[in-house]
Chain A
Amino acid sequence: MIGAGLIVIGVGIGIGRIGGSAMEAIARQPEATNKIQTAMLIAAALIEGIGFAALFAA
């Protein structure tokens, strides 16, 4: 139970940081929005993958 909560915290922090830095990057260079968005989604999916795997193990 506690393990599941910790996993979700970890995933939340990770994806939050990616989202945050993606926002900053877009603010600095609006022309690169598409590329940044793509990279952000890929990184988010990878982190969520680990999160789900851990969630099933817990």
Chain B
Amino acid sequence: MYRLLRFILVVALLSPVVTSSVFANAEAHHGAPDKELTPEEQRDENNAFVKHHTIDSHDFGIVSNEETGTHIGFPLPVILWDGGLHVFMSSAFEHGEKVVESKGNYYKLEHDGKIYKTDEHGVVMTETSIDKETKEEIVHELKPLDFSITKNVFVTIFMCILMFFLFKGIAKSYKTGLAPTGAAKFFEPIILFIRDEIAIPNIGEKAHKKYMVYLLTVFFFIWFLNLIGMTPLGINVTGNIAVTFVLAIFTFLITQFTGKKDYWMHIFWMPGVPVPMKIILIPIELIGLVVKPFALMIRLYANMLAGHIVLGALIAAVYFFDAYLAKTAFLGLTFFMNIIELLVAALQAYIFTMLTALYFGSAAAVHEEAH
């Protein structure tokens, strides 16, 4: 009896968290729910909805309603380098409709989210070059170098500041005593888990301390960013291959620069193996050196992006059907998918951290005994 009540309580508490993403998108998605759309229009709208929630954008739009034309959100600065520095707010673009003039150059925001260089009438300037081999003309559009503060950059910076103050505060709270208080009560078991279950088994008692900084940072960074991606705001930072690429590059660089002699020996001249095998192993190990961080990047990126796309498609499917039974079925499916996504958020952070620790372990390993 008690267990049943507890189950109902958990479901009731979780449902607003999860279904909020469905209803927050109701206004944005269908301004008038009883308007009839052809299947093609419906599909285009669904695609646009999923796209809006998975790609980067130059302004922080929270909710927008195409029917009434209201957009809630704030614009972000656009910083372009095109021979000279151009800075302006993205509200000048007016959601891709206006051509912006800056220091004599004109720029337009296209539907794929990128900024192109145009002439004053909004026609994109192109440059034709001749392909050396096939002698065909290739036309490619001119784009300035885009250093803007986009939605992902803004959220990443915000997350850095948030994490900095959060963990500074937790560290300070330990000055008054060893027992944790406040936020430390929640984070201490997690931090100890990373140290005792991830760092020490993989790297060893002696060498793990200097790697703990990076491991803790990367775990909480990925976990918090994944959780923010689960909110209905449509922020998708870890599902962006550039972000995961940088994280993988950091892991790669740290492994290389802290590698001891045994690490390089294992790659180039594996001890305890006959010489012909050693020659064969060298290219395999070199490829492995690059493939391992590459797999880290792809794993996190694909998991997060696929999760967002599936959730977006399921939410769109709720509005696609007219029969209420189908709507309820898809709503239930969305609920479960959202729960699974919450699990995946934490799991991917854990996997990334664990594999990073594994690679650090092989770098820092010092074998005293002979193989």
Contact B351 A52, beta carbon cutoff 8 Å? no
Interface size class of A (residues with CB under 8 A): 10 to 19
Contact A53 B348, beta carbon cutoff 8 Å? no
Neighbouring B residues of A52 by C-beta, 8 Å: 298-299, 302-303, 306
Q: How far is the CA of A53 from the CA of B248 in the complex (A)?
A: 15
Majority secondary structure of chain A interface residues (helix, strand, loop or mixed): helix
> Is B354's CB within 8 Å of the partner chain A?
yes
Among residues of A, the one whose C-beta sits closest to the C-beta of B351 is A45
Q: Shortest CB–CB separation between residue A33 and chain B, in angstroms? A: 15
Contact A53 B295, beta carbon cutoff 8 Å? yes
- B346-368 toward A: CB 8 Å interface, digit per residue (1/0)? 01101100100000000000000
Q: Shortest CB–CB separation between residue A4 and chain B, in angstroms? A: 12
Q: How far is the CA of A49 from the CA of B298 in the complex (A)?
A: 7
Neighbouring B residues of A38 by C-beta, 8 Å: 197
- A39-55 toward B: CB 8 Å interface, digit per residue (1/0)? 00110011011101101
Neighbouring B residues of A45 by C-beta, 8 Å: 299, 347-348, 351
Q: Shortest CB–CB separation between residue B181 and chain A, in angstroms? A: 28
- How many residues of B are counted as interface, with CB atoms below 8 angstroms from the partner's CB atoms? 12
- B59-74 toward A: CB 8 Å interface, digit per residue (1/0)? 0000000000000000
Q: How far is the CA of A41 from the CA of B303 in the complex (A)?
A: 14
Contact A48 B295, beta carbon cutoff 8 Å? no
Contact A53 B298, beta carbon cutoff 8 Å? yes
Q: How far is the CA of A52 from the CA of B310 in the complex (A)?
A: 14
Q: How far is the CA of A55 from the CA of B306 in the complex (A)?
A: 10
- Our pick among B197, B299, B350 for the contact of A49 (Cβ within 8 Å) is B299
Neighbouring B residues of A55 by C-beta, 8 Å: 302, 306
Q: Give the contacts of A1-17 with B (CB-CB under 8 A).
A: none
Contact B303 A42, beta carbon cutoff 8 Å? no
Q: How far is the CA of A45 from the CA of B303 in the complex (A)?
A: 10
Q: How far is the CA of A42 from the CA of B302 in the complex (A)?
A: 16
Can you name 15 A-B pairs with beta carbons within 8 Å? A41-B351, A42-B351, A42-B354, A46-B351, A48-B303, A49-B295, A49-B302, A52-B298, A53-B295, A53-B298, A53-B299, A53-B302, A55-B302, A56-B298, A56-B302
A-B pairs with the 5 shortest C-beta distances? A52-B302, A49-B299, A45-B351, A53-B298, A49-B295
